[in-house]
Amino acid sequence: MMRGPRLYIAGLVAAMVIGMIIAACAGAAPTPVGSEEVAAPAPQQETKSTLDIVRERDKLICVGNANLPGFGFLDEQGNFSGFDVDFCRAVAAAIFGDPDKVEIRPTTAKERFTVLQSGEGDVLFRNTTWTMSRDTDLGLNFGPTTFYDGQGIMVRKDSGIQTLEDLNGASICVQTGTTTELNLADQMAARGIPYEPVVFETADEVTTAYEEGRCDAWTTDKSGLVSRQTVLKNPADHVILDVTLSKEPLGPAVRHGDDQWFDLVNWVVYATFLAEEHGITSENVDTFMDSKDPNIRKLLGLEGEFCAKVGLENDCFYNVIKMVGNYEEIYNRNLGPDTIFNLPRGLNSLYTDGGLLYAPPIR
């Protein structure tokens, strides 16, 4: 057999090539063609704070959403836009004085926490409900709630349904595998109301089924109900029940282990609340520069060195207000009366207006 040893050598060469390709796939990775060389953000690093990493990288990486109307999406020019995105921009404005130094890392609901934990993102703004298990088990710290949501139910006006009890025996469309489905089951079981759940995979399917009359009602977060109502054929024919089935406080989250970074994110959010409280907007902020009110002077960095306490320049909150706006501006820009959502402020009003937005004082 003459070809024996030769074939052996050929095979050996083949194996080496395979090995090299596999090694190349693993080893060539750090210097890939078309990669962006990003400084390594590492989880739980003792030596380098998150702020240092962000500064070194010269941009903030914000774990976000690209698929939620009003909260995070791409506009037609390819720029990220939305309520959550504006808060990411606010954090970037505070750190760099430039709201555009932010990269949104779009994630799915499943991978968002892993991406934050692995250090690929610095902060999470992704319509994430603050729950106890997420706060503890996942090693996250939740910042101040930026949006108080709650699960609601939409019915047809002519059905005459007004309370949960009226839904006795009704069929209710709901998205499968969500907390929404569980909340509905819990609430109905607690009240002993029999109903027929009709489950679908996506929100689009749920609304289509509801519109085609396959169910008497459908349920999701109230902000979602409002946004979907606007695109039903006759929005006026439908009504959202007053009852709220669950609490859904949505807010930012950061990793455990860097308290300065946690404080920074918290106080950027609080600054937007405080600015609204004092009536400071992105347009009139400069007129407040000669204000005598010590609260305003501290917020705008004219008195004391409060931004330095979270490691930033003294004008950090001024930049947030000037470049992104106060809470009301952010809200109205994305969800307010001028948008198709026209979402009432409700719980998301300042405490002075009967809402839940209450920022601690800057002192």
**Minimum Å distance from CB 363 to other proteins?**
38
Tokens of 267: 């106080």
Residues in Cβ contact with 323 at an 8 Å cutoff, skipping those fewer than 6 apart: 89, 90, 93, 97, 98, 99, 282
Q: Any residues with CB less than 8 A from the CB of 363 and at least 6 apart, and which?
A: 298
Per the listing, tokens 């439908």 go with: 238
- The answer to whether the beta carbons of residues 362 and 299 sit under 8 Å apart is yes
Q: Choose, by CB under 8 A, the member of 50, 62, 69, 188 that binds other proteins.
A: 69
Considering the rule CB under 8 A, would residue 158 count as an interface residue with other proteins? no
Q: In the bound complex, what is the minimum distance in angstroms from residue 117's beta carbon to other proteins?
A: 8
Q: Kindly provide the residue ranges of all beta strands, DSSP E only, lying in the chain, ordered along the sequence.
A: 60-64, 73-74, 80-81, 102-106, 123-124, 140-142, 147-149, 151-156, 171-175, 196-200, 217-221, 238-240, 248-250, 253-255
Residue 178 and residue 218 in contact, taking contact as beta carbons nearer than 8 Å = no
169 binds other proteins (CB under 8 A): no
> How many angstroms separate the CA atoms of 259 and 178, rounded?
31
For residues 193 and 232, which CB has a smaller minimum distance to other proteins in the complex?
232
Residues 301-320 binding other proteins (CB under 8 A) are none
Restricting to residues 71-90, which ones interact with other proteins according to CB under 8 A? 72-79
Q: Which of residues 96-125 bind other proteins (CB under 8 A)?
A: 103, 105-108, 111, 114-115, 117-120
- How many CB atoms are closer than 10 A to CB 1? 6
Smaller CB separation from other proteins, 34 or 213: 34
Minimum distance, C-beta of residue 166 to other proteins, in the bound complex (Å): 28
- The C-alpha atoms of residue 66 and residue 62 are separated, in whole angstroms, by 12
Q: Among residues 227 and 244, whose Cβ is nearest to other proteins? A: 227
Q: Is 23 in the site for other proteins (CB under 8 A)?
A: no
Q: Which of 27, 43, 194, 361 binds other proteins (CB under 8 A)?
A: 43
Q: Which residues of 171-196 are buried (b: 16+ CB within 10 A; e: fewer)?
A: bbbbbeebebbebbeebbeeeebebe
Number of residues that bind other proteins (CB under 8 A): 66
Contacts of 29 (CB under 8 A, 6+ apart): none
Nearer to other proteins, 10 or 289 (CB): 10
Mask of contacts with other proteins, 220-249, x by CB under 8 A?
-------xx-xx------------------
Nearer to other proteins, 43 or 361 (CB): 43
Positions touching other proteins (CB under 8 A) are 2-4, 6-15, 17-18, 21, 25, 29-30, 32-43, 45, 66-70, 72-79, 103, 105-108, 111, 114-115, 117-120, 204, 207, 227-228, 230-231, 339-341
